[in-house]
Each structure stands twice: as structure tokens, then as C-alpha cells.
Structure 1
Amino acid sequence: MDNPATTAPCGHMFEIQAINDYLRTSNVCPICRTAVTGVTQNYAFKNVIEA
């Protein structure tokens, strides 16, 4: 998978490059506006997609 899913602290998932680009100009989730200090790769979702 070239563009793995990531999860923000609020639980929303994004494509990694898209959310990293967005977070360069904002520090809140684009869906719920909760503060986002970082994202983590969502390995469970990645495995489902690759199955």
C-alpha cells in the first residue's frame, strides 16, 4: 500500500500525505475540529485493505 491510512487522536482516519499536507497549515482535525498534535499509522486498517 503506497498511501497508508493514519488515525488522528480523535479517531478519524486519513491518507497520510493528505493529512500531513493539511497539518502544515492547521492543527485541528478537518472533520471534527479537535486539536491534532500528531497522527499514527493505522496498521489494522492497512491489513484489511491489503487482504
Structure 2
Amino acid sequence: MRNDYRKGVSQAVFARYLNVSKDSVSQWERGEKHPAGLALKLLSLVEKKGLNAIN
């Protein structure tokens, strides 16, 4: 996962938007794990419409 989705938002804040842990976001960005389920759907929405779409 590219970290440009966060657009200046910390991993901790971004994680709260997605209802996941900061560690999950960190692992996605390092390529250790991949998002799934609702988090994956929310990330797709953020990619298409920006972070404000889920705010």
C-alpha cells in the first residue's frame, strides 16, 4: 500500500478512520501484509474520492 493515501495524516489517525490498528497500517505500507475486508473497501474509496469520503 502506498502511504500517499494518508495525505499528511499520521498512521494512527488513518488507522482510526479505517477502524484498524496503527500496526496494521504500518505493515501494509511495508508490504508485510495486505488489507482485506472492510478496510480494503474503505481504502478503495479513499483512493477514488480522497480521505474526506470516509470522514
Answer whether TM exceeds 0.5 for this pair: no
Relative contact order, CA 8 A, sep 6+: which one is greater? 1
Q: Which structure would you say has the larger Rg?
A: 1
The alignment's TM-score, normalised by the length of structure 2, stands at 0.28
Structure with bigger strand share is 1
